[in-house]
Structure 1
Amino acid sequence: MTTETDPTDLRVLQVTTSNRSFFQQQVQVLEERGVECETLVVPRPRSGGRGPREYLSAYLQLLGKGIADFDLVHVNYGLIGPLALCQPTRPVVMTLWGSDVMGPRWLREVSRVAARGSDAVIAPSKPLARQLDVPHEFVPFGVDTDLFEPTDRDAARERVGWDTDERVVLFPYDPDRPVKNHELAERVVARVPNATLKTVTGVAYEAVPDYMNASDALLVTSDYESGPMSVCEATACNLPVVSRDVGFVSDVLEGVEPTGIADTEDELVAALTDVLDAEKQSNGRSVLDRGLDRLGRDLVRVYQKVLN
């Protein structure tokens, strides 16, 4: 008979390329359940992207962590999977983030090879899961539903300094990132009567719910995505979403109304017009099943399965 490992006895080395908010929440919710976590972030050079030197540095840091003191290694992103697999003493859990199996061919191949060598593979979305050829666990990224919750729109607009009479379409991404296709967002909103595009980037994470609650719709025009998490966060705020069919958008928005998923410029214009004309919040919060409690519970279950 197998005995489950007590979460309070677990010590996990978390390896990642980015200390993004959703990753920090993952670590936080695990620690709240008694799992001791230590994080290793692959270093980024002062200019340009990461190269062999940065990954070699991360590998040496990993070996220097006293790997035998951990129960397992949790790799967050396919590209760094080989680093963890090169240590022979501890089981490896790998969470794929999306762009690692939907991005360039070389990245997809590295991620798939690493997935085959891992003791457990986690897919955070169903579209991503369909890309995998190995057994895997479906564990969606969690949303802090205490932070992202519906509030009064006019009060939110006062907090962010927006006119209370505008029909606001939120674009919460860096417009200089080509993949986000800000130009398409501008063209779409320009064709919707009485709509104003608000591009918000670089604000404190804790302030993002105010901008979402101050808006009438969220617009996603990205060419491709691994998520985006902003769709989950908007859904938790009951903010209607109009998006191209990228990442896990169709998965998250299933059963949510009003909403719109489209691909061409004309279709996005029509969908956004319909959503704004509805003049109501979505039912997203009642449909969304991506709370942090579920994330913590499911990750501990995967850890226990690997160790037992």
Structure 2
Amino acid sequence: MDVLALSTYDDAPFMNQQIDALEQRGVSFERLTVPGHVSADESRGASDYLRFFPEVIREARNGYDLIHAHYGLTAPMALAQRRLPVVLTLWGTDLDGPAGPLTKLCASRCEEVIVMTDGMRHRLGTDCTVITFGIDLDLFRPIDSDRARAEVGWPDDEHHVLFPYSRERTVKNYPRAKRIVEAVDDRVDRPVRLQAVHGVDHETVPTYMNAADALLLTSKREGSPTSVKEALACNLPVVALDVGDVRQRLAGVDPSTVATSDEELVYGLVEALERGERSDGREAAREVSQEETIDRVLDVYERATDSETELERSKPAVPQR
């Protein structure tokens, strides 16, 4: 199967891992990214997206079996061509943010739609399949914490709380995380340092996960946060707001906390640091292994191409002249 993949970001590790895993299963990909500059505090303009339309339409003529559009804002370009079936994957912020109405309109016109959580499925209000991005359990695994801290250069006489995002990404709410850690710092035996880790090679992220004492998630909204699943795979305790599918992912994991207020975040982080134990999250992470999720994505691809075949068969024959 040959697939044209559209995205707004070319450096999204969770998307690229999925594509790499699909390629290992025999799927061939060509990737197109919306042009223009984007950063943590700067978005593309409308002209960037308009320039993407003709690029997608031209490329779609080159013999693909389907288009896989990642993120709602790529759906209009995918649908602008009329030759190929479209699979749309929604990440969460595209459904809940300002582009939500456009995303919902486009989703209803795609052959298949993938969402991250049951909550997203209910909010979308149209037929879709819940498949979260999978985790490479060979890459994300527990290793010795002392060795991991030595590799990343973190001192042993401090508690280290991981914030695995850019400080500038407003939706991740670094100021709230900083406020929580400052409150916790007065209540535990050792200094607490908030470690904002961003822009490192993805292969080194497991080392930071194993060097940390807890992961803190303070996002304003999420779909299915990959960092939480990666932390589970490394047995890193997670203290998180109740966003996206966090409550589902952390169900039964100890120690972990799903909070709805600053007070609960502080309490959960204090408890995790004072206990000083790794979690039992790896077993829960097996539910979202890369292998499991790739099987389900392939099923979606087959349904999308089968539905297109049935559509072609159902069209009336055109009389020959």
Match of 1:89 among 66, 83, 86: 83
| Kept after mapping to 1: 8 A contact 2:234/2:281 | yes
- Aligned pair in 2 of structure 1 residues 131, 64: CA closer, same or farther (>3 Å)? same
SS at match of 1:130: helix
Q: Which residue of 2 aligns with 1:54?
A: 48
Letter in 1 for 2:5: Q
After TM superposition, the score normalised by the length of structure 1 is 0.92
Q: 1:251-307 CA deviation, whole Å, 9 max, x = no partner?
A: 221221110011221111111111222221111111121111122211111111122
Match of 2:288, SS? coil
The yes-or-no answer on 1:199 pairing with 2:196 is yes
In 2 relative to 1, CA 44–112 (structure 1 residues): closer, same or farther, beyond 3 Å?
Answer: same
| 1:180-199 mapped onto 2 (5 Å cutoff) | 180-192=172-184, 193=188, 194=190, 195-199=192-196
Deviations 1:191-249 (A, max 9, x none): 22233322222222211111110011001112222332111111110000001111221
From 201, 205, 208, the equivalent of 2:205 is: 208
| TM-fit CA distance, 1:102 | 1.0
Partners of 1:230 and 1:124 lie apart in 2 by 14
Give 1:24 deviation, angstroms: 0.7
Asked if 2 retains the 8 angstrom alpha-carbon contact of 1:156 and 1:211, the reply is: yes
8 Å contact 1:127–1:251 — kept in the other structure?
A: no
Q: Is the 8 A contact 2:60 2:83 kept in 1?
A: no
Check whether the contact 1:68–1:89 (CA below 8 A) recurs between aligned residues.
Answer: no
Say if 1:295 and 1:200 are closer, same or farther in 2 by CA, change over 3 A. Answer: same
State the Cα distance separating 1:15 from its structure 2 match: 0.8
Shift of the 160–131 alpha-carbon distance from structure 1 to 2, 3 Å rule, reads same
Q: State how far apart, in whole Å, the 2-side matches of 1:227 and 1:139 are.
A: 10
Correspondence 1:154-303 to 2 at 5 A:
154-192=146-184, 193=188, 194=190, 195-288=192-285, 289-303=287-301
2: CA distance, partners of 1:232 / 1:182: 20
Q: Which residue of 2 aligns with 1:18?
A: 9
| Residues 148, 208 of structure 2: 8 Å contact kept | yes
State how 1:45-124 maps to structure 2 within 5 Å. Answer: 45=37, 48-67=42-61, 69-104=63-98, 107-124=99-116
Distance in 1 separating the partners of 2:23 and 2:38 = 31
Q: Is the 8 A contact 2:132 2:224 kept in 1?
A: no
Unaligned residue ranges in structure 1 (runs of 5+): 1-9
Partner of 1:138: 130
Unaligned residue ranges in structure 2 (runs of 5+): 307-321
2:144 and 2:89 mapped to 1: Cα distance?
36
Match of 1:185, as an amino acid?
A
Q: Could you tell me how far apart the structure 2 residues matched to 1:297 and 1:74 are?
A: 16
| 3-state SS in 2 of match to 1:67 | coil
Q: Please state whether the residue corresponding to 2:265 is helix, strand or coil.
A: helix
Note the C-alpha offset of 1:131.
Answer: 1.2
CA shift in 2, pair 1:196/1:68, >3 Å: closer
Give the drift of 1:46. Answer: 7.3
Q: CA deviation at 1:66?
A: 4.5
Supply the AA of the counterpart residue of 1:241. Answer: V
Cα distance in 2 for residues equivalent to 1:17 and 1:221: 24
Q: Please, what TM-score do these two structures have when normalized by structure 2?
A: 0.88
Q: Distance in 1 between matches of 2:46 and 2:297?
A: 30
Q: Are residues 218 and 66 of structure 1, via their aligned partners in 2, closer, same or farther at CA, if it must alter by over 3 Å?
A: closer
1:68 CA displacement: 5.4
CA contact (8 A) 2:116 2:223 kept: no
Counterpart of 1:177, as a letter, is R
RMSD: 1.6
- The reply on whether 1:27 has 2:25 as its aligned counterpart is no
